[in-house]
Amino acid sequence: EQCLNDGLEWQVTAFDTIQDAVNNVPDIDGIWTVGVAGGVSQPAVYHEQVALPSGVRLIGAGADSTVIDGDDTGSALTLDGVTHVEITGFTITDAGEEATDAGIAVTGASNNITITYNIIGGLSPDSQFPGNGNYGVLFANGSTGALTFNTIALNYSTGVVVQDDASWLHARYNIIALNDSGLDNSAGGQIFNAYNLVYNTDGDWCLQYTCLDYLGSVEKGPGEINQDPLFMDADNGDLQLCISGVGNCSGKSPAIDGIPAANYQPVPTGGGLEADMGYQELLALPATLLLGKEGNSCGLGSAGVASVQVGLVYVPDSSVSASQTPPSSWQNATLATAGEAGSYWTTNVTPGSGDGLYRLYTRPKDAADNLASQVSDWYRAAFIADGTPPAVTLVAPTANMTSTAPAVTLAANVLDWTPTGVPGESSFTVDDVTFLVDSTVVTATQAVTVASAGQPQRYETQVALENGTHTVTAVATDLAGNVGQSSPVSVTVVTVQNQAALANPAPGSAVNEASLTLQGYVHFQDAEGDGQVEVLVDNVSQGTATLADSTAQATSWAMPVTLSGDGSHTITLRASRTAGTSAPADSTATLVLDTTGPSITFDPPTGTVTRTVTLDGSASDATSGLAAVSVSVDGGHSYQNATVDSSGNWTFDWEPDLGNDYAGFPVRVRALDSAGNATVDSATVTVDNLGPTPISLVSVSPQEGSHIQAPTAVNLEWL
């Protein structure tokens, strides 16, 4: 038996709430799919209010089996200042009743939003009442998107609302019915309404008695149907479309085959010649025709699997389809149950063209010598082969070095880049780096400053060592399990005085919290008694630190302290021993406390922009210094670094996609100081890279080609 989550890691790729899953979407540019499991005998109901980030495709198992229940609080789904989001395959219901609540609320200049194949309204199995408490769908604050193939029904207020002049929505192929009202742009914005079924004038369902299909300037669109959609059982939340003779249905829903074939193709297989409106395409079962004279029948059988051939192909360019890279040679696999209708097979393959992307193909043959002939049928899988161990160079300590410091710095450069199948691209495949100090394994971390692609990456740590000579080796393991190591070096540790050192935070660095724990290392001249480290901040004692091993000659220490006020602070570390002849000794370090974010200015372009856009402004930080300025064009989901000069003036060149048609982007500009404080400024930048859509002449009166007397009025109707 297989489960949906087989092979997934809990709280990494599998979660028990939708919000947990979307919170773990990487904050880098791209489109990430979050799949949501549905129920089998009963719908799976998720009781939550979900806020979606940019770049997410939220896909349910189907509107009949996957329900997001807002528990009559807030909006069930919120998209605020995000871009490139798709929602499909859900029933979204039981959102709250406040003025801004909706089943799906899209705000904050969100754009490139796609909502398709959902029930928005309907009835949750866990709710007594159907629909959302206010709106079904809301687009506001300059948000734009598309609403297609949804059933938006049984909502207590309006089905679809667009507000504010810069907001617009393409609504096509939906059923918008049995709401208090249908389509509303009375507070500004545009709804491009076409090929929908709109029916909100049934007094039995207009709970607030508005009973209107349209509010504002929105009008009946081309191909629109204004009839009862004939749901199977709207009273009990069943929004499937009626077919004559099924259940209590006395007729066929007008939404079935309601979209002209010329306006939407391809129709889902089994859906007839024309597509249905709403969340679900009704499919006919395949018909089987038996032709021929009566006689003895025979069963379809299998000659059994006779052999399986396996081929492996090195692929330098993954953009070439699998059908274009067939193997040039094959090898026979070993069958577990040869001659039977199915069999497991095994074989060993050797990637013979070096590291990189390989494709695996299999070609089975049965006992009747039937052989699969299509290359696309042979392809099975792809993987990255990596047989090269990491190259490891020990940077510190240097060979035969003598150290008198409380801790020895260990550093190594590691090189291991593997081709990905994308021409010119490779990935850094190191999984783990450690240092072997004598017989002790010490874990390293990658340096904050990461080298560019193709270059060695630096790994570092520190270790407290007792007096004497020690051997150090750096060891790196990559994702394929290959192990590389450096040549060993010797380092001699000599203690000339009691001495403590600050390691974290790094001496001279900036911090943004007044209360923090200092960590470091200490070594002592004497071995008698217990070691001590007294910590002073600005010459005021904070007490004695906790030592990992107070009896050791070299060990680590930790101490919580409080810094008073922004600015520079002196940390004094006084190392001593409770016995022996050595004298206490002081060492000092400086930390800068900065709890105030940097200042930033951002002058967004006015009006509508097109093609390449240059964003600019200035930033500064007087306490710890300006570290970076970065820009997000997807509402803060991902950031890219701006160019900053020595005076803090920053610029960022942005090239919006050429397909954007009057779309508002939620731009964020973030300034970061050396202490880690961030200040964000925001603005909506409207991009229009497409010209107007040509309008079509529908009719001319008098008719074209007519001979008329002057003056005569000519009536032209446009679409």
Residue 90 has pLDDT above 90, yes or no: yes
The string over 195-209, giving b where at least 16 C-beta atoms fall within 10 Å of a residue's C-beta and e elsewhere, is: bbbbbbbeeebbeee
Mean pLDDT of 125-132: 92
Same domain, 103 and 212: yes
For residue 433, the enclosing domain spans 391-493
Total domains in the fold of the chain: 5
Q: How confident is the model at residue 375 (pLDDT cuts 50, 70, 90)?
A: confident
Q: Based on the domain organization, do 454 and 527 belong to the same domain?
A: no
pLDDT of 692 reads 76
Query: Is the residue at 369 inside a domain?
Result: yes
- Do 683 and 644 share a structural domain? yes
pLDDT at 698: 60
What are the phi and psi torsion angles at 310 (to 5°)?
Answer: -125, 135
The C-alpha atoms of residue 153 and residue 158 are separated, in whole angstroms, by: 9
At 286 the pLDDT is 42
Residue 40's pLDDT band (cuts 50, 70, 90): confident
User: Do 404 and 540 belong together in one domain?
Assistant: no
Residue 718 lies in a domain: no
Q: Is 700 domain-assigned?
A: no
Q: Quick: pLDDT tens for 174-217.
A: 999 999 999 999 999 999 999 999 999 987 877 666 789 999 99
Q: Does 515 share its domain with 459?
A: no
Q: Does 91 reside within a domain? A: yes
Burial of residue 643 (number of CB atoms within 10 Å: 0-12, 13-18, 19+): exposed
pTM of the model: 0.71
The contacts of residue 545 (CB under 8 Å, 6+ apart) are 518, 532, 533, 534, 535, 557, 558, 559
> What's the chain's Rg over C-alpha atoms?
34
Residue 631: how many CB atoms within 10 A of its CB?
A: 20
Residues 113 and 232 in one domain: yes
Summarize the confidence of residues 45-53 as an average pLDDT. 97
Q: What pLDDT, on a 0 to 100 scale, did the predictor assign at position 695?
A: 66
Residues 38 and 129 occupy one common structural domain: yes
* DSSP code, position 367: T
Residue 661 is predicted with a pLDDT of: 84
What confidence tens digit (pLDDT) does each residue in 262-307 have? 888 787 766 678 899 999 987 654 433 334 334 333 333 456 788 9
Position 54 confidence tier, pLDDT thresholds 50, 70, 90: very high
pLDDT at 284: 54
3-state secondary structure of 289: coil
211 versus 543: the higher-pLDDT residue is 543
Position 711 confidence tier, pLDDT thresholds 50, 70, 90: confident
Residues 375 and 476 in one domain: no
Residue 545 in tokens: 């630190």
Domain identity same for 472 and 523: no
- Domain membership flag for residue 708: no
With 80 as the cut, is the pLDDT of residue 147 above it?
yes
In 621-662, beta strands by DSSP E: 626-632, 640-641, 643-644, 649-654
Of 331, 356, 385, the last residue of a domain is 385
Q: Report pLDDT digits (tens) over 327-349.
A: 999 999 999 988 887 789 999 99
Residues 270, 261: Cα–Cα separation, whole Å: 14
Residue 565 domain-assigned (yes or no): yes
Residues 44, 141, single domain; the answer is yes
Percentage of the residues of the chain whose pLDDT score is greater than 70: 92
| Residues 217 and 104 placed together within one structural domain of the fold | yes
The DSSP line for 59-125 is EES-TTTEEEE-TTSS-SEEEES-EEEEEES-EEE----STT-EEEEEETT-EEEEEES-EEES--T
**What pLDDT was estimated at residue 297?**
34
Q: Is residue 440 part of a domain?
A: yes
Residues 6+ apart with CB under 8 A from 349: 310, 312, 331, 360
Signed CA dihedral, 219, 224, 228, 233: sign only:
negative
Report the CATH number at residue 506: 2.60.40.10
More confident residue, 198 or 662: 198
